[in-house]
Amino acid sequence: MDATIPQSSGGPPLRRRLRRIRDRVFWTRWSPRVSGIVATLICLMGLAVAMQNDNPERGAILFIGGAAWTVLGAYHRTRYESPIGAWAVIGGALWLIARIDEAGNRWLFTVGNVISMIDVPAFFLILMTFPAGRLSVASAAVDPATGLVDPHRVRGMRRLVWAVCAWAALSSVWVVFSDNPNPGCGEECVGRNHYIAGYGEIVQPLQILQAVTLVALGALVVRNFERGFRTRDPLHRSAHIPVRVGTWAIVVCFAAFMAAGDDVDLAKPASLLTKITFMLLPVLYGFALYRWNELEEDARRALRMSTATSPGAVEEVLRTELRDPGLRLTLATGEDGPPSGRRTVLRDMEGTPLWVVDHRTRTPDSTLLDDALAWASQRLAPVSAEVAATHDGPAWEPLIAALTEAELTTAILIAQRRSNREIAAELHLVDGTVNNRVSKIYVKLGMSDSSRRERAATMARILPLLLADQRRRS
């Protein structure tokens, strides 16, 4: 359920081969070509499934729902290394395969209703682990008492997903004994399937068992989802809201479908509403992923552009950008207690504690807090005479002073290992303008004849001097 990076390449050849496949699917970014091929093949399969449906409108809705998840996941795998995109592709493919439960062919219809729930575990996992796709860093696994991920909770969530897998595989076995395996398909589907006659008395008890176990498992999944939502800090919680809306909409629609039972007049519209909601869910999920990354990048950009240097100013910037009004920055005294999910110690280059930051519970599937505290540590850590001498401060100062404000800002981004394209996007400039500005910076700093590796090392080395000059100018 939670793919982890292997620590060794040992083991039998088959196991090593499976590990490589797992890494390529879940951990290695897919090239646009690979993503396009995977999405196209799955969508073609989904189109073939949709064409088996006697109702073109329902077939189109079923196809769009699965295709939307597949395209969203394939695109995400080209941009990010987290496995959530791979799970979305898998979920979309399983949804399309399971939708042969409305096929016109009698055998496909029968098989489809037996496996109609195989997509449920993937989507439960996707919703519980937003946005990383990993149980080991899910917010629902955070212990409120310590603010840290609790391995016991991770194991409990993993067992829950396996239980949902078992339910999805076994809960629909009753359809082989009933002539009405899919009430949501309407009266035209009654008697379409192959079934074993003479065992009708066990159908209703099996249906009740399916409904009861689904309610129990669904309640546990929703509880974990809500726990993860409440554990997040306000910034990430706002990005989580669209997924929360979609999740509850699915829960309500599916509950209505289950409550309709064998009543075709109620089950058919409830089934259609569930599928329409599912079709819209990837839109909400994709918007939430976009909003999550946008909010984090806005906060990081604001921190980089900030000129705060005093403890009070740094504390206020952290409170604003992290949306944590209770954040406190205090001098380390040596008796501050160990770091925890709500406390971080800022240290200098020699490892000496300098400041203690008390903050909200750390969001385990985000690095924003770590990046913000690294920024604070850099701004608050004193530059010793030894460090200044290492950076040849007196020799660099007149060269840095010759940079314009725009060039200085760009030089800081270069020193922070940002590419020209990233700098252009951050400063809202065209690539050509940034390329010309970078060339001028290297000329002014005497690096025009240096290699790319030498430039990168030197710029990283003089970053404290660049930041110090920016503070003086402000």
C-alpha span between 302 and 407 (Å, rounded): 18
C-alpha span between 182 and 444 (Å, rounded): 74
Residue 4 pLDDT: 47
- Measure CA 236 to chain center: 11
Tens digit of each residue's pLDDT, the chain (474 residues): 555 444 444 456 788 888 888 888 888 889 999 999 999 999 999 999 988 887 788 888 889 999 999 999 999 999 888 899 999 999 999 999 998 888 878 888 888 888 888 998 999 999 999 988 889 888 998 888 888 888 999 999 999 999 999 998 888 888 888 887 776 666 677 777 788 877 878 888 888 888 888 889 889 999 999 998 988 888 888 899 999 999 898 888 878 877 776 676 777 787 788 888 888 999 999 999 999 999 999 998 898 888 887 888 889 999 999 999 999 998 887 665 666 778 888 876 666 788 888 888 888 888 888 888 888 887 886 544 444 444 456 778 888 888 888 888 899 888 888 888 888 878 878 888 888 899 889 988 888 878 888 888 788 778 888 887 887 776
Residue 209 pLDDT: 86
Residue 351 pLDDT: 67
Closest CA to 73 of 133, 120, 3: 133
Residue 125 pLDDT: 92
Residue 165 pLDDT: 93
Considering the segment(s) 13-298 as one domain, its CATH architecture is: Up-down Bundle (1.20)
**What tens digit of pLDDT does each residue of 194-215 get?**
888 778 788 888 888 888 888 8
**What tens digit of pLDDT does each residue of 75-123 get?**
999 988 889 999 999 999 999 999 888 887 888 888 888 888 899 899 9
The phi, psi pair for 28, rounded to 5°, reads -90, 130
Residue 186 pLDDT: 63
Longest distance between any two alpha carbons in the chain, whole Å = 94
Residue 261 CB coordination number (10 Å): 14
Residue 390 pLDDT: 47
* Buried residues in 416-452 as b, exposed as e (16+ CB within 10 A): eebebeebbebbebeeeebeebbebbbebbeeeeeee
Judged on CB neighbours under 10 Å (0-12, 13-18, 19+), 57 is exposed
Residue 335 pLDDT: 60
**Paired tokens of 152:** 């016991």
Residue 104 pLDDT: 79
pTM higher than the cut 0.85: no
Asked if 49 and 62 touch (Cβ cutoff 8 Å), the reply is: yes
Query: How do the domains of the chain map onto residue ranges?
Result: 13-298, 308-382, 384-474
Residue 336: HSE in the Cβ half-sphere, 13 Å Cα cutoff: 20
Residue 7 pLDDT: 46
Residue 163 pLDDT: 93
Asked if 43 and 89 touch (Cβ cutoff 8 Å), the reply is: no
Q: Does domain 384-474 have CATH number 3.40.30.10?
A: no
Asked if 214 and 258 touch (Cβ cutoff 8 Å), the reply is: yes
Q: Which residues contact 190 (CB under 8 A, 6 or more apart)?
A: 179, 180
Residue 389 pLDDT: 42
End-to-end CA distance of the chain, in Å?
50
